[in-house]
Structure 1
Amino acid sequence: MSEKWRGLVAKEQSMRLDPKTIYPVRPRPLPDESTQGYLKRVACANGFVSSRHLFSSLRTRQQGAFDELCARLRLSIEDRALLFGSLPTHWAHTDTPLGLGISDFNQTHGRWCRLCLREGGVLLGQWTLKLVCTCPKHGIWLQEVCTRCGASLSWGDVVQSKGQCRCGASLLESEVEEVNEDVHALTLLLCGDSSRAGRLACLSALSTPAMHRLVRYLGPFQPATRPSHPGQTPDVHRLGVARGLVTGAAGLLANWPTNLHTKISELQSDAPESPSVRRTFDPLYRVLYDALPESEFQFLRDAFEGYLHIHWWGLVCKRNRRLQPATVEIHPRLSLPQMAKAARVPPSVVRHMVQTELVPSSSAELLSGRHARSIHLSELPGIKTATDGAMTLERAARVLALPKCRVRELIEGDLLTPLVSRKFNRGAAAWLISKSEVDRLHVQAVQAPGNSKSIPVRDILKYWRLRAHEGIALIAAVVDGYLYAEGDDQSPVPIGEANLNAARAKDWLLKHRAEARQDFSVDAAAKQLGVKQQVAYDLVRLGILRSTTVGALGHRVAAGDIEQFQATYISLARLAKEGRRSPRALLDELAASPVCGPSINGARQYFYRRSEIVAQQSCGVS
């Protein structure tokens, strides 16, 4: 044994003999100094190799070891209060500041602020917190490895380094990387400093330990990520990992609750369609209601349920027992039966209004193949207004002074939109047409010259031997004012009793036949394309399927436009059928970008340009 080690052993034995022995060098703690850094300073000042050798010089090996050390250093209560942090694990000392646990402190990998070391300061105790990645004093990112050799330093190495790594590189000269204000404010809160809590006012009611828990669970929810096990992030003691957690949490907590709502919206858009709140927003739902159930985290659940109230398309009912009762009570979306009950009409009426897009709704396909559908409460007044005074097909025909077959033609030509139609609701007991639709087919008569010869619209339909669709076009011309009714100019008259100037009606008919070209309603165009009506309406709305607006007839699609569409575009469903593949699998494989679809612009089906599909197939063959 060397003389040096014999001397150390003798010193330890002599000090251990008398617990009242005072260390010859007794440095005072500095404000917020790291407890581990202070132990290293004491050990070096008194000739010990490390803080573990300093520990070996004490008689006490259990909880009272630190108390004995303080007695030998003659530290007062005020002196001890200046220290911040935890002791090394072998000291068996469990007292930690701010109510934090031992697991919240970094015992192994040292961190430092290059500006603090440059100013000759000591290791701050806040740096030993795993989630503290910035200097509370200077607001810059801490450092944990040498920029030249990449070596990690222990806390003892940082104390002894005097600003220099073992490789000779300076620890003080690397570039300073400043931190944004939100991350710095969160760092101060994690250190127990509320001086900048105003930037993150949502955390005002949280204790420091609760903030550390919150960062561990919210931090993994970074942009474009959906963590599988939030709260179980490994290697939090490494600066890079902790930095990601703090940055992610600060991003969600800033600008409260807008940033959190943005992340919730991202989770919703990335999740498969489902009426289940838990499945759609998992794992955030598990964090809010399972991992952080305490009342101090209620502000998170309030923000989440506020998002559901505004943006969740599905239903919130008593089955959602984890949500607050008030959230369930005031949720503005209802099922079809609930909306029908509120409007005091049969469910078939509401169902048909949804199918004909008279009432907007949201839906998702279940695993069973059924569709879950909901309607916003704001649509209730419109449903009540539309169904108030609604009438059957027979009564509508009497009011309009037209035969029932002509009323059916008006419905087929989209000139009259029923609330319930046997065309769509085959189980419906009767047609149901709203009073507003019938009133729309009443026209205002104008004063006619005394010698003009007039004829009722009803007689023109009956005796003039009109061709297919000419009757609908005639009524549309009268409703739109191209042909005006003659009369006493007192009150609107039903379309069947409207008297037209016979000569002008004959001229209009000849001109119409000369200009006639085949076109279709959107419903008829859907049949020609072999798609559902809502898909055709989406294509027209997006301008992918060209259409023209023809007065009361609404959107009309020319035969040439249908042919042009079929030559230019092809649906994913058609491609999957031709290739004998599932649409979902084929969607993942196609490199071509769809022009429309559920994830693109809310359309019901995906459509591609045929030219891009042909080009991809050619590349695959070559």
Structure 2
Amino acid sequence: MKEGVGVNLAYHRDGVTEVSPIRWASVTTPWSSMRFVSGAFCPLCLRKQLYLQRTWDHRLVTSCPKHGVLLIDRCPECGLHLSWNRPGIATCRCGYDLSLSAPVTIDTDATAFVKELATTGDQKVFAALDALFEGLLPILDKVGSLTEQHKLVELAVSGIRRPESLVPLVANYILDNECGGLSVHPRITCLPLLASGNTVVQEFGVLVLRELDLRGWLPASSIEEVPGQTGIREAAALLGLTEDLTKKLVHHNILCGKRNKSGHAWRIENSSLNRLLMDLENRKSVVKDAISVFLYRKIPGPRHSLAEAISDIIAGALVSGGFDLASGLESLTVVAPARKVCAHWDDCVTVAELAERCNVHTENIRFAIKAGVIPAEKRVTNSRRMTVIGVSDAEKFEKDYIFAGSLARQIGASVTNFAEKLMSTGIRPVSGPKVDGGLTYIFLRQDLEALDLGAVAALENYPTRTGRKKLGLAQHTIESTISLAKAAKALGLTVQRTKGLVPKGLLEAAEYGGRALQINRDSFDRLKSMLDDQNLITIDDAAKIVGETRSAFEYRWVHTHLVTVIDLGVRRVIRRECLEEVQRYKRIFITADEAGKLLGSHRSLLPNWERRGLIAPEKVMESKIVGVKLYRRTDFDRLRLLKEYSGPSNEHK
């Protein structure tokens, strides 16, 4: 047995690991709350009967209500903690008789309250009490003698009964230990409470912070370096943010953090957390017009994410209005600078101005700029970037081009199908959904000069994809694409899964299919025909036919390249010719696994015969990752009849 560590055989665990919660009395308690390393006892109980009570194993039990004395966890003679490896129940390793220990009278009301909770099974209150004790330990620093632990248990009990009575005591302890201001931020100090898994303890931590805020705590001139690291969940609770926002602070180099060796868990430096909070406290300005940084992102003007706002505050580019100590950085405020009316340039126009002149929506202009039809540039005004078009470029666009919808409104035609009517006459647009993915069609004015626009608007029999089809017209329309929704329905898949076949190369997206994804019909027909091909069979069905599991089939035949798998995205299939080849191999050869199962023995039977020189593999199929030996069935059947096979199977039986 390891020195100083007891083996717990008396408690039932609620899980399978060593740190699973333990059933103590009628409640569940964490493993860390039990005294498994060093025990404690009542000297008067031990003097009466040499028996260790299970009640003494929990750390919240620090006294004996029956005799009104403090428990003992150290030998009065040698002063060492009691070891479970001592010679006897009442005998220390130094030889001292522990039953002769002098009892210390003490108030046992807190211990009686703990035992009452454990006996009645009040799990909620007991868990809150144990979690509050755990949270107060590092704050009040009462981890020395059992007398100090007893005082801490009394404080925790008072905090559960009347939290308002304990809050001022904890606040006094935090403020009294720091002269000339706090060098460690209060949220760092209260981290054990804020990051607790118990909501009662978290609320108690918030009450302590509110008390400190009311008393007007002051930061020290120097910031203390806090050792250690904190997990991402604890760091988020400390800052009063979500885990995602906390990670963004790391990505912006505001916090010092890194992932562990596995690449999953985050570890944040405690010193960087303390520096961030203290910097924001030192840079805050008491003003009336401070607004929340989250609201500040939504008002007109420069946009700021939380990380960007904090970076600007630290750099001095933005004035902080501070944050509520109890709420954390989610209540961070900044001072909004005065907004100015955007300046008007004489040499350019805005997107909205050009859209108004062209009688279209602003998004039509943005799509035309994206397609390269309209030259544009970015300019900054009042810390805001705007897209503008030169005056000469805007005039040239109005002179040379026109939107189909704008032209339709001018002549009173239907905006919905006027572009298709123009294209049915042989006029080709320079931009649009089927050209470059634009929002609407744009035509050259010179191409429309010779057209009778009234006659074009009156056309009835023309190829169209909008509106109802004339009888007999739909069957003559040849579609080169199919919508994603129709393709998904025809394949019997969801839209998202069908969309995932495009990156795999199983389906091809149309080059300019508009805003909605369109699939080339040739690729769709090719995939559909392969799925309907009766010459293809899934791996699951092939494995059932040859009497193997899917994993065994892939290991023996797929990984050794005897069978070629075709990945159709929807399912993995093989050709029936490959299946027939596997069936031929199984009629001629046998594997070690099959031989062992046939004889009721282990798969090592044939390899053992091979080492004795009784049989040799006829074929070895190998790849970079696997190797499968195939033995002839005729050789195997011959050996079964020989006397050489008298030991292995029978001996195992």
Greater strand percent: which structure? 2
Greater helix percent: which structure? 1
